[in-house]
């Protein structure tokens, strides 16, 4: 027999923490695939076509993306800093491409990729909770 006076208790909302959801998409897809693998592909493409300057530009992008990826997977706050550096440089590269080759729409894609993910890293509660947790000793500030 059920007691009609018992109220159903809903579970507490899950805390937004850990590499899940959009943060997982960013770490593994945007940094891992986009940041590392695509830039390696661009490096090989440019090196094969004797566009050495373009190939050399890919090397620091690959290095910073790898550093950000590894640090973010380990949930180290420095990973967010390196990811922001990578995304800012990507946005600048997109803007430069728009200025130098305005007919090529890939500049917009690169610029929006950098700016969009930067906005996510600056505003996400999951990023804040995962990489910059507040302790009780600091008053939650």
Contact 124, 21 (CB under 8 A): no
Output the average pLDDT for the chain: 87
Tell whether the model's pLDDT for residue 141 goes beyond 50: no
Q: What are phi and psi of 29, to 5 degrees?
A: -90, -55
Tell whether the model's pLDDT for residue 137 goes beyond 50: no
Q: What is the pTM of this model?
A: 0.81
- Give me the residue spans of the domains in the chain: 21-127
Average pLDDT over residues 105-119: 94
Average pLDDT over residues 71-75: 97
Helix axes 77-100, 52-73, angle to 10 degrees: 150
| pLDDT 10s digits, 2-61 | 555 556 666 556 789 999 999 999 999 999 998 999 889 888 988 888 888 888 889 999
Lowest mean pLDDT of 86-90, 91-95, 98-102, name the range: 98-102
The pLDDT score that the predictor gives to residue 28 is 95
| Cα radius of gyration rounded to whole Å, the chain | 20
């Amino acid at each position: 027999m059920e007691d009609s006076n018992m109220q159903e208790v809903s579970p507490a909302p899950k805390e937004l923490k850990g590499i899940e959801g959009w943060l997982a998409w960013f770490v593994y897809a945007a940094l891992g695939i986009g940041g590392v693998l695509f830039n390696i592909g661009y490096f090989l493409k440019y090196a094969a076509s004797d566009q050495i300057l373009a190939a050399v530009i890919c090397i620091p992008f690959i290095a910073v993306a790898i550093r950000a990826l590894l640090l973010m997977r380990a949930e180290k706050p420095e990973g967010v800093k390196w990811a922001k550096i990578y995304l800012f440089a990507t946005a600048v590269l997109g803007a430069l491409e728009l200025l130098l080759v305005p007919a090529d729409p890939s500049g917009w894609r690169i610029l929006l990729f950098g700016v969009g993910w930067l906005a996510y890293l600056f505003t996400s509660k999951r990023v804040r909770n995962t990489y910059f947790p507040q302790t009780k000793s600091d008053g939650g500030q």
